Chains A and B, each alone.
Chain A
Amino acid sequence: MSGRRAGKGPAWANPLLWTGAAFVALVVGMPALKPLFAALFPYLERPLYTQESFVALAVAHVELVAASSAVSVLVGVAAGVFVTQPAGVDFRGLVETLVAIGQTFPPVAVLAMAVPVIGFGMWPALIALALYGLLPIVENTVAGLEAVPAAVREAGRGLGMSRIGLLYRVDLPLAAPVIVAGIRTSVIINIGTAAIASTVGATTLGTPIILGLNGANVAYVLQGAVVVGLLAIVVDLGFEQFTARLQRWKRG
């Protein structure tokens, strides 16, 4: 899986480059595809979503995912580190249960509950997505830290590293590939889920999808879905190559 690229082959053969370019071209050049959609769906009065530009939608979508994932990563990694330290061991069960509950709630339900409390717009979406993305990050942080060999930790302590020093010099770098795998899962889920956030008034790439579903406009749904899907692929490829970089030392 990982390590397939990472420095091998010429730069132009990098799939990330090509899918990234395809994504940008599609988002920027969507208006140019109007004749295509008109031909595909001749019965539709408006075959192309034009309320907002796809560039604006994509930027808003990425912003929402980035903000909510940043919260998930900060809270998730901090929680995972905390419950694996001697001081936090007692909280481990509680944290894992809370996080699991956050994941079992369907995001639509979280959105629906958030609206009466916070109102429509970006904020309920951000909170719902951040909660929803916590579980894989916390779980993988705990798993990654626990997989650090005991002998390595003993040697680190024996050499005179402080607990904090050991954490950021040894534990976190060794756990990083596993933690990043959790972040990858979380972010990819969030890219898809953020589309649903349009139901509570956040502007995302889901907006044309929701509008199209309401108005029986298949072209809108298709336009939104393809761009969201491509975005997920681009981000996933980016994570794959980042993970491979983190594990370069394992090769050879």
Chain B
Amino acid sequence: MISFDSVSKNFGGANVVDRLSFTVEAGEFAVLIGPSGSGKSTTLKMINRLIDRDAGVIRFDGQDVQAVAVEALRRRMGYVIQSGGLFPNWTVERNIAAVPSLLRWSRARIAERVEALLHLLRLDEEGCRGRYPHQLSGGQQQRVGVARALAADPDVLLMDEPFGALDPITREALQVEIARIHAETGKTIVFVTHDMQEALKLASRIVILDHGRLVQVGTPIELLTAPANDFVREFVGQDDPGGRLLAIETVAQRVRAGEVAPGPPIAASATLRQALSAMIVRHEDRIGVADPAGRPIGTLYLADIVRR
């Protein structure tokens, strides 16, 4: 879907991005992460050409982004930034309708789309539709930002530290939300953050950058189990690597199907960490597992959590 081929960007003589190459496949949730000054934000903005690269090639859907009219390119990519960047003098509805009206959709089609997005982002139940951005909470503003980015059904969603300015509870809620949206829509997402917890939780693949160079690309589990060097090891967190692994894998991946265990069951979608926690509280070495409807589907054993 998106590929970087030896891309460099130079600001005032310093290479902010240095011969960077990686690809993001369709449907992936790719997270760009690195310390400040690693060039992650610059990398993201080169995709929709808010920043133009100096060398190399960036392809979107097989096409050099430099060869496409810039406005047309951007309208195929949703864009969400940290401070929301909502138009303060427009209502929530009109903000969400921004790109569809740029694309001159019919009024009925825009109304229908806005309706669907208000619902998808759970903004309708909070009565946000006719309000102005300054009347919303930070979390609501950011959800409107996501809805606006999704409005014209773009091929990819570019998100530049979208939850960085939110309090921890709101951030967690929105992380769950974006993971759900990714699962429901199957959109390709490129997401910039400096928060490793967030990256491990959301990413299907993580791209670690440092000083504009690629350090390692891999799934969260790959980064935790096979860090390429000390920088990665330190960055993913030396303390509690096992705990972080447990927080990524779900019960569904380790359950023994068909066996029934006593006591209230745990959801198959729960993380291993939650399952372990429940076992410790109950002083048991196994726990029943249920599907979303609450029907028991099997049992998770302590030994199975530990095995490779």
Residues of A within 8 A of B (CB): 149, 151-152, 154-162, 165, 169-170, 173-174, 249-250, 252
Contact = CB atoms under 8 A, between A and B. Distances in A.
Contacts of B86: 152, 155
30 contacts: A149-B88, A151-B82, A151-B85, A152-B87, A154-B50, A154-B81, A154-B85, A155-B79, A155-B81, A155-B85, A155-B145, A156-B85, A157-B74, A158-B48, A158-B79, A159-B74, A159-B98, A159-B102, A160-B74, A160-B75, A160-B99, A160-B102, A161-B102, A170-B87, A174-B87, A174-B88, A249-B88, A249-B89, A249-B90, A252-B132
B50 A160 contact: no
How many chain B residues sit at the interface, stated as a range, is 20 to 34
A177 to B, nearest CB: 10
A161 B88 contact: no
A162 B87 contact: no
Given A154-B81, A156-B87, A173-B89, 13 more contacts: A151-B83, A152-B85, A152-B88, A155-B81, A158-B74, A158-B158, A159-B99, A159-B149, A160-B74, A160-B99, A174-B88, A250-B134, A252-B132
A157 B83 CA distance: 15
A159 B89 contact: no
Contacts of A149: 83, 85, 88
Interface in B65-104: 71-75, 79, 81-91, 98-99, 102
A151 B79 CA distance: 12
B279 to A, nearest CB: 46
Secondary structure of the B contact surface, majority rule: mixed
B79 to A, nearest CB: 4
A156 to B, nearest CB: 7
B269 interface: no
A244 B250 CA distance: 56
Interface of B: 48, 50, 71-75, 79, 81-91, 98-99, 102, 132, 134-135, 145, 148-149, 158
A194 to B, nearest CB: 34
Contacts of A158: 48, 50, 74, 79, 81, 85, 158
A174 B90 CA distance: 10
A155 to B, nearest CB: 3
B162 to A, nearest CB: 12
Contacts of B73: 160
A159 B148 contact: yes
Contacts of A249: 88-91, 132
A160 B89 contact: no
A160 B72 contact: yes
A156 B145 CA distance: 11
